[in-house]
Structure 1
Amino acid sequence: MTKDVISGMSSHMDKTIDSLRKEYQKVRTGRASTSLLDEIKVDFYGTLSPLNQVATLAVPEPRTITLQPWDAKMIPPIEKAIMNANLGLTPANDGKLIRLNLPPLTEERRKEIVKQLKKFAEDAKVAVRNIRREAIDDLKKLEKEKKISEDDLKRAEKDVQDVTNSHVARIDEVLLHKEKEVMEV
């Protein structure tokens, strides 16, 4: 029974870390990444569609993203959507292809991004701790219902704490990796 609670808790914590990684992918670093454009929706003949469903996205160079719309008439709405997304990117088109050049980040901007990354990491740690609290509450409920002994409860609480500590350490690793990527010139 305690193993079920702990494995469920661990999978929830894994999802929290995955969510953090996805959040980090959206953060603009010095390198171009198509994931910067994941949240952008384009008016495609009256329907809001994700950018990757109306154009082919590519990263030909470290600081350039190219978009090749499947329909040339879509270039103006795509440019408008990118401008409205407030990413600090200005689209340039040649009639067939839209280029987004990512300007190099200033030191000040890099530090702001790192602060943002640390906030995301702290939010993830809080989520992990909340999951830990819920797991411990579930274990105490099992003990109250006499489904596990007090000794089992203490052992399980220690296991829960160990799993929590390992997930917090993984969050720190993810943060450190992304921080290095952002501070890289």
Structure 2
Amino acid sequence: MEKHTQDCTNRMQKSIDSLEKDFSKLRTGRASTALVDSIRVEYYGTPTPLNQVASVSIPDSRTISISPWDRNAFNSIEKAIMKSDLGLTPINDGRAIRINIPVLTEERRKDLVKMAKKYTEEAKVAIRNVRRDVNDALKKMHTAKEISEDDLHKAQDEVQKTTDNFVKKADAVLAEKEKEIMEI
């Protein structure tokens, strides 16, 4: 029983971690290296993460600077940024590639909040699915006479409390991200 409740907590935490990772990819009007983390560059025929072919830095709040270690990678990095779904245009000055982060419009901010809410709802569904799986496992244990009726109800209450806590965490992460997005 203890194994199931621990597994429940671990799997729910992974849902929150995934939600935070999704949020890091949402553009908030401020430069962040997380925006380019998912970009893969075609480097000598192999799709390679951007941070493995160049150093990525934030010189100011609206600029991402990418300094390739290999001069031959400039064009590949530019193409990868243009192909990405970020909607950003790279500027190559010969020494580094700069990406200016434009100020978000009110409409775009609202769209980003909608996306954040969608990600949060997906995380909540994942958390509820974990609850269902654990409760099913507990019921099987009860049916197999491995645990008593009281233990079953106690464990289910514990799982429900854990679920409620993680749903609150997801809402808190959303509120924080929403505030960050709407901040000018």
Q: By the TM > 0.5 criterion, same fold?
A: yes
In the other structure, the counterpart of 1:38 is 37
| Number of aligned positions between the proteins | 184
In the other structure, the counterpart of 1:170 is 169
Q: SS in structure 2 opposite 1:31?
A: coil
* Greater shift in the superposed pair: 159-168 or 72-81: 72-81
The code of the aligned residue for 1:54 comes to V
Task: Show the 5 A alignment for 1:10-159.
Answer: 10-159=9-158
Cα offset, 1:34, TM superposition: 1.0
The code of the aligned residue for 1:25 comes to S
Q: Aligned partners of 2:62, 2:53: CA distance in 1, in Å?
A: 22
Q: SS in structure 1 opposite 2:113?
A: helix
- 1:61-120 per-residue CA deviation (whole Å, 9 max, x = no partner) reads 111000001122211111111111131111111101110000000010000000000000
Q: Aligned partners of 2:8, 2:51: CA distance in 1, in Å?
A: 34
Normalising by structure 1, we get a TM-score of: 0.97
The code of the aligned residue for 1:23 comes to D
In the other structure, the counterpart of 2:181 is 182
The code of the aligned residue for 2:176 comes to H
Q: Aligned partners of 1:104, 1:172: CA distance in 2, in Å?
A: 26
The code of the aligned residue for 2:81 comes to I
Q: Aligned partners of 1:103, 1:181: CA distance in 2, in Å?
A: 16
Cα offset, 1:29, TM superposition: 0.9
Q: SS in structure 2 opposite 1:122?
A: helix
